Amino acid sequence: MNEQFRIAHKLGLMFLQDTPLPENVKAWAISQLHVKSPALGIKRWKSNAKGKEWPKSVQPDLLTRDNMFSLYKYNRKREEMGLDGYTSEAAKRDNERKNLMGELDQLKFAHRNVYGDDQVKLRFTAFWANHFTTGNIWDNQNHIGHAIDEAILANLNGNFSHMLYKMTTHSSMLAYLDNCWSCGENSQEAKWAREDGQQAGLNDNLGRELLELHTVSPTAKYTESDIKNAANVLAGWGIWPGRITGDEELLSTEQRHKKLREMGGTINSWDFFKKHHAEPGTKRVLGKVIPAGKGGLKQLTNFLASHEHTINFISFKLAQHFVSDNPSKSDINYIVNAWKKSNGNLDQIHTAVIERAISSTEPKFQWPMTWLFQVVRLSGATYFKGWDEMDKYNQGIMEAREIFEELGQSFWHERQPNGYSSDKKEWLSGEMFERRIRFADAIYSKGYPYSTPDEIMDRIGANETTRSLVNSFTRKKDQFIALMCSPELMGLKNA
Amino acid sequence: MPKLNLTRREFLKVSGASLFLAGLPLPGFTKDKPPGTISVIMLEGGMDGLTAVPPFGDPNLLKMRKGLTPDNYLKLNSFFGLHPSFQYFSGLMAKNNASIVHATNFPYTARSHFEGQNLMQGGGLSPFSETSGWLGRSLELAELPGRSLSLDMPLVLRGTDRNDNFYPASIRGSSSLKTKLIDMISMFHSKEGSSVFKKVSKKSTQKDSIVPRDPASLAKYAGKAMSQEGGPLSSVIKVTQFDTHSNQGADEFGKHGKLLKLVDEIIAGYREGLGDAWDNSIILTLTEFGRTVKENGTWGTEHGYGSAGLLAGGAITKSRVISKWPGLAENEQFEKRDLMSTIDYRSVCAACIEKSLGLDHDLIADKVFFTPELPRVYDYIFS
pTM over 0.95: no
Please name the residue ranges forming H helices in chain B: 8-14, 49-52, 60-65, 87-94, 113-122, 134-141, 179-188, 191-204, 215-227, 255-274, 345-357, 361-363, 378-382
Is B107 within the bounds of a domain?
yes
Contact residues on chain B for A178, CB-CB shorter than 8 A = 245-246, 298, 300
For residue B178, report the phi and psi dihedrals to the nearest 5 degrees: -110, 120
Query: Which among B153, B171, B246 is the nearest to A406, CB-wise?
Result: B171
CA-based nearest residue to A111, from A154, A53, A34, A46: A53
Pair (A56, A138) in one structural domain: yes
Give which of A119, A115, A178, A118 is closest to A384, Cα–Cα.
A115
Instruction: Classify residue B3: in a domain, yes or no.
Output: no
| Same structural domain, A493 and A442 | yes
**Rounded to an integer, what distance in angstroms lies between the CA atom of residue B138 and that of residue B121?**
12
* Inside any domain, residue A77: no
User: Inter-chain contact B171–A212, Cβ cutoff 8 Å?
Assistant: no
Do B287 and B362 belong to one domain?
yes
Within 13 Å, how many C-alpha atoms sit on residue B208's CB side? 16
Residues B305, B329, single domain; the answer is yes
pLDDT of residue A150: 98
Span B125-150, average pLDDT? 82
- A38 at the B interface (CB within 8 A)? no
CA dihedral B149, B150, B152, B155 (to 10 degrees): -60
A486 and B188 within 8 Å at the Cβ level: the answer is: yes
- Distance of alpha carbon B229 from alpha carbon B226, whole angstroms: 8
Query: Distance between CA B48 and CA B300 in Å, rounded?
Result: 10
Q: Is residue B89 part of a domain?
A: yes
List the end-to-end C-alpha distance of chain A, in Å, as a whole number.
16
Q: Are residues B158 and B178 in the same domain?
A: no
Query: What does each C-alpha distance from A351 to A12, A36, A347, A348 come to in angstroms?
Result: 13, 17, 6, 5
Cβ–Cβ contact A125 with B under 8 A: no
The reply to whether B184 falls in a domain is: yes
Q: Which CA distances in Å does B332 have to A223, A460, B337, B339, B342? A: 21, 66, 9, 8, 11
Give the 3-state secondary structure percentages of chain B, helix then strand then coil, rounded to 5.
35, 15, 50
Residue A433 inside a domain? The answer is: yes
Same domain, A333 and A451: yes
Does A429 fall in a domain?
yes
Nearest by CB to A438, from B114, B174, B193: name it: B174
Amino acid present at A20: P
How many domains does one find in chain A? 2
Q: What are phi and psi of B267, to 5 degrees?
A: -65, -40
The burial class, CB within 10 Å (0-12 / 13-18 / 19+), for A293 is middle
- What's the pLDDT band for B321 if we cut at 50, 70, 90? very high
- Do the chains contact at A434 and B200, CB–CB below 8 Å? yes
Chain length of chain B: 383
- Picking from A305, A339, A358, the residue at the C-terminal end of a domain is A305
Residue A298 falls inside a structural domain: yes
Which among B123, B68, B109 is positioned nearest to B341, based on CA atoms?
B109
**8 Å CB contact of B16 and A398:** no
Side-chain-side CA neighbours of residue A11 (13 Å): 29
- Helix then strand count (H, E) for chain B reads 13, 10
- Indicate whether B156 and B180 sit together in one domain: no
Considering only CA atoms, which of A435, A287, A285, A293 is closest in space to residue A372? A435
Residue B36 placed within a domain: yes
Same domain, B122 and B199: no
- Interacting residues of B168 by C-beta distance below 8 A, sequence separation 6+: B2, B208, B209, B210, B211
* Chain A contact present for B77, CB below 8 A: no
CA-to-CA separations, B323 to B43, B103, B140, B348, B373, in angstroms, rounded: 20, 6, 31, 12, 20
Same domain, yes or no: B180 and B223: no
Any chain B CB within 8 A of the CB of A45? no
Is the Cβ–Cβ distance between B250 and B51 less than 8 Å? yes
Flag whether pLDDT at B27 surpasses 80.
no
For residues A265 and A355, membership in a common domain is answered with no
Interface of A with B in 94-123 (CB under 8 A): 102-103
Task: Please say if the pLDDT value at position B112 is more than 90.
Answer: yes
Based on the fold, state whether residues A367 and A402 are members of the same structural domain. Answer: yes
Of A271, A305, A339, which residue is a domain's last? A305
| Domain of residue A126, residue span | 1-60+101-170+322-495
pLDDT of residue B172: 87
Is A423 part of the contact surface with chain B (CB cutoff 8 Å)? no
Q: Any chain A CB within 8 A of the CB of B176? A: no
C-alpha angle with apex A435: B273 to A152, nearest 5 degrees? 110
* CA B228/CA A388 separation, integer angstroms: 50
Q: Based on the domain organization, do B184 and B296 belong to the same domain?
A: no
Q: Same domain for B113 and B191?
A: no
d(CA A192, CA A302): 33
Are both A418 and A333 inside the same structural domain?
yes
Q: What pLDDT shows up at residue A104?
A: 97
Q: What is the distance between the alpha carbons of residues A187 and A19, in angstroms, rounded to a whole number?
A: 58
Domain containing B333: what range?
A: 8-168+210-382
Q: Are residues A165 and A224 in the same domain?
A: no
Segment B146-193, tens digit of pLDDT: 555 567 788 998 887 666 666 667 888 888 889 999 999 999 999 999
Q: Are residues B258 and B156 in the same domain?
A: yes
Sequence-ordered alpha helix ranges (H) in A215-345: 224-234, 253-264, 296-305, 308-318, 329-341
Within a domain: A87: no
In a domain, A113, yes or no: yes
CATH code at B347? 3.40.720
SS3 B338: strand
What does the pLDDT read at residue A18? 87
- Are residues B245 and B361 both part of a single domain? yes
Count the domains in chain B: 2
As a whole number of angstroms, the distance between CA B188 and CA A482 comes to: 10
Are residues A329 and A465 located together in one domain of the fold? yes
Asked if residue A326 is part of any domain, the answer here is yes
Say yes or no: B169 contacts chain A, CB-CB below 8 A.
Answer: yes
**pLDDT less than 50: residues of chain A:** none
B188 touches A: beta carbon within 8 Å: yes
Q: Which residues contact A198 (CB under 8 A, 6 or more apart)?
A: none
Do B285 and B360 share a domain, yes or no?
yes
**B143 and B191, same domain (yes or no):** no
Please indicate, yes or no, if residue B1 is contained in any of the structural domains.
no
Model confidence pLDDT, tens digit, residues B336-374 = 999 999 999 999 999 999 999 999 999 999 999 999 999
Residues A351 and A219 in one domain: no
Q: How confident is residue B218, by pLDDT bands cut at 50, 70 and 90?
A: confident
